[in-house]
Amino acid sequence: MATPSLVLPKELPYEFLKKITDDFSDDRKISDSPFGILYKGINPDDGKVIAVKKLQENAPMPPNKAFAQEVQNVMALKHDNIVQLVGFCSETTKRLVQFDKRYIQADITESLICYEYLPNGSLQKNLFGTKGDKVVSSVKPDIDWDTRFTIIKGICHGLRFLHKLDIPIIHMDLKPENILLDANMVPKIADFALSRVFGQEQTRLCTQTVVGSYGYMAPEYLYRGETSAQSDIYSLGLVIIEITTGEQNCPEKDQPSARNFIDKVREKWTKEEHIASKYPSLEYGCLQQVLACINIGLKCVAIDRKLRPSIVDIVDMLNGLGSR
């Protein structure tokens, strides 16, 4: 069998993905969630590395739905700040499974999605040294302000691209874990499993099932299932605040909203003295950038979605701040 090359998103055979992940071995696991297990895939022929996500059969969302959502929504997208999809696989194989003291043949569909491999991992890990609740590094990484500001701008450019497509895409699960960093710390929006595609006429959608991440879901979505571009803006606001302050938005277990976190940020971080004490070596212009990012973040988390800025407004505001 000729080894498929890994250039364009293409259908890759299951056997090939099994081979490059060392038979989906534990050693190659990058992450494990109810939605899917992510493996590092290394092509033995040319040494190229890709990330291979194997969707879980008993995921909270049926794998075929998650698969269709990610593959169809992300497949054709090409942008510096969106994770690049390189391949996919959906293969039904016959397998013997034990049932009622005998073996029966069953059709098992394996769904896999392959992405460019981003060696620096998630923004969550880079900001807080944690992965979900797990601490993966005891040293809190120190990222300077210029890098933080560049990351914020990159994420906003990626989101503007999604919201301004002819048929817009709403991400629905923006948070530091779903933003990845490449070797040069360029941010890439990832994990489109919950994303929605909006028809041209449609700007708002109501859903019965509310799935997302505690602490990042907009109140109108959390309490009324209302989905719109502004729900992404709410989540983006929290991400901007976390990057700027270096403080983590940890919602309490029974408190799905981020109100306490937002209130604390509004109290402390809107004061120039506080900002200067947290960023002691920054010159005046950069301190103004920090303050502006806090203000943008706080506007994004307005409870009334109509008061939140659009992504185009946000990018304009950031561009007006200069690069230093």
Ligand X SMILES: Nc1ncnc2c1ncn2[C@@H]1O[C@H](COP(=O)(O)OP(=O)(O)O)[C@@H](O)[C@H]1O
**Which residues in this chain contact Mg ion in the complex, by CB under 5 A?**
178, 191
Cα distance between the two ends of the chain: 53
Which listed residue (115, 128, 149, 198) binds ligand X by CB under 6 A?
115
Burial of 96 (0-12, 13-18, 19+ CB in 10 A): exposed
Q: Which one of ligand X, Mg ion, none is in contact with 115 (Cβ closer than 5 to 8 A by kind)?
A: ligand X
* Cβ closest to ligand X, residue 121 vs residue 129: 121
Which region among 86-94, 115-123, 138-146, 269-277 touches ligand X (by CB under 6 A)? 115-123
> Residue 35 interacts with ligand X (CB under 6 A)?
yes
Active-site pick, 22, 107, 146, 173: 173
CA gap 12, 249 in Å, rounded: 38
Pairing of strands 10-11, 85-99: parallel
Q: Bridge partners of 5?
A: none
Can you tell me which residue has the tokens 């039904």? 92
Which listed residue (28, 91, 121, 210) binds ligand X by CB under 6 A?
121
User: Binding-site residue total for ligand X (CB under 6 A)?
Assistant: 20
CA gap 120, 181 in Å, rounded: 5
Q: Which one of ligand X, Mg ion, none is in contact with 121 (Cβ closer than 5 to 8 A by kind)?
A: ligand X
- Phi, psi dihedrals of residue 182, rounded to the nearest 5°: -85, -175
Q: Which one of Mg ion, ligand X, none is in contact with 117 (Cβ closer than 5 to 8 A by kind)?
A: ligand X
Q: Which one of Mg ion, ligand X, none is in contact with 110 (Cβ closer than 5 to 8 A by kind)?
A: none
Q: Is the distance from CB of 177 to CB of 83 less than 8 angstroms?
A: no
Token pair for residue 101? Answer: 């003291």
Task: Compute the least distance from the CB of residue 186 to ligand X, in Å.
Answer: 13
Q: Is the distance from CB of 162 to CB of 155 less than 8 angstroms?
A: no
CA gap 285, 257 in Å, rounded: 33
* Cβ closest to ligand X, residue 177 vs residue 220: 177
- Phi, psi dihedrals of residue 154, rounded to the nearest 5°: -60, -45
**Does the annotation mark 146 as catalytic?**
no
Task: Compute the least distance from the CB of residue 134 to ligand X, in Å.
Answer: 11
* Cβ closest to ligand X, residue 131 vs residue 266: 131
Helix spans in 164-283 (H) = 219-224, 229-245, 259-268, 272-278
* Cβ closest to Mg ion, residue 21 vs residue 178: 178
Helix spans in the chain (H) = 14-20, 63-74, 123-128, 145-163, 219-224, 229-245, 259-268, 272-278, 284-300, 311-319
Task: Compute the least distance from the CB of residue 262 to Mg ion, in Å.
Answer: 22
* Cβ closest to ligand X, residue 60 vs residue 225: 60
* Cβ closest to ligand X, residue 74 vs residue 275: 74
Task: Compute the least distance from the CB of residue 177 to Mg ion, in Å.
Answer: 5
Which region among 173-181, 223-231, 237-245, 274-282 touches ligand X (by CB under 6 A)? 173-181
> Residue 88 interacts with ligand X (CB under 6 A)?
no
> Residue 177 interacts with ligand X (CB under 6 A)?
yes
Can you tell me which residue has the tokens 């990832």? 190
Can you tell me which residue has the tokens 């571009």? 229
Active site residues: 173
Positions that interact with ligand X (CB under 6 A): 30-31, 33, 35-36, 38, 51, 83, 115-118, 121-122, 177-178, 180, 190-191, 193
